[in-house]
Amino acid sequence: MNIIRPIKHSDYAVLHDIAVESGIGFTSLPVNETLLKSKILDSETAFQADISQPGNESYLFVMEDTNTGQVVGTSGIASSVGLDDAFYHYHLSKVVHASRELDIYNTAEILTLCNDYTGVSEICTLFLRESARQGNNGRFLSKVRFLFMMEHKERFAETVIAEMRGISDESGKSPFWQWLEEHFFSMDFPTADYLTGIGQKQFIAELMPKYPIYVSLLSKEAQAVIGKVHDKTKPALRLLESEGFSCRGYVDIFDAGPTVEANLTHIRTAQASRKLAVKIDDSLAGKYNEHGSHSETEYFVINTKITDFRAIAASIHIDEANERAIISQADADHLGIQDGEFIRFAPTTFKV
């Protein structure tokens, strides 16, 4: 069984391995011991804090295979971005150049540097190791964040975003960044990406063009990747789109990958989730639905704790008459809960 739990300091070695595996362009996990250990400490602090409104907290989860004890993936949430360091995007929009006298009307796309997403929550740092890329593991690692956020809404903003990895090749070359590098910067994409990952963002404000950029002035290669995602990111984008996320024209300033957004209460998994008290009963759990027939429905399930947060995928029996969820003793043990305590859960898949 796979369990999702908060990261802890003893997970550093495997987090470092994941950072190496994730490669160039995965800004939120730089291969830097100081930064990775700081991310773990920040997460431990966030899970232990008593919070009434979102701040600079950063939550990092890991997926652990209980059969082997190995960590096979990670995902995270930033409560509020841009409160300490400026959070930059390009916004893709249109301008009109028209002359009624000459009967000329032209539209042009422009990229404008902005900080429009300051203060929103961000889901981030999702990476599943290749050995675990089967079944519902990727969905589980992603969707569990929406259950956690819905259960602890006071810790997060209503607007939630996700920055999707843009197009770059295996050596780290980004067509979009190559154009910026040629005209405004003197560093390659891996270097710029790494500096951003370790929090050194001042160069962006110092060197990034301050005025809107006409897209037509970019190289054809750069124009072609605006708003496009890396091949390895396409499944993650499709999953978020199925949850109700959409792009409103914001793209990454380095690789032009799209940023998608949704309101927390409108995210499909969060909206469909239920919170019920638990009854532990091995004779019923996961075997029958409320009509007494066999049930194959599986749910992503979380306890309602913070420091001792746990999440699993499990079949449960919903006793509608008594408004409770019946689960097995084994699943209760994995969740760290007892009779009468609460869980929040949502279907692993939705009917189309």
CA 53, CA 42: separation in Å to the nearest integer? 17
b or e along 48-79 (b: 16 or more beta carbons within 10 Å of the residue's beta carbon)? Answer: eeeeeebeebbbbbbbbbeeeeebbbbbbbbb
Helical ranges in the chain per DSSP H: 12-22, 33-48, 137-151, 175-183, 189-197, 202-207, 220-224, 234-242, 268-272, 329-335
**Residue 261 parent element (H or E):** strand 258-263
In the set 91, 97, 230, 334, the catalytic residue is 230
Known active-site residue 230: yes
DSSP state of 294: B
At 125, which amino acid appears?
T
User: How many Cβ atoms sit within 10 Å of the Cβ of residue 304?
Assistant: 16
User: How many Cβ atoms sit within 10 Å of the Cβ of residue 234?
Assistant: 13
Residues with catalytic function: 230
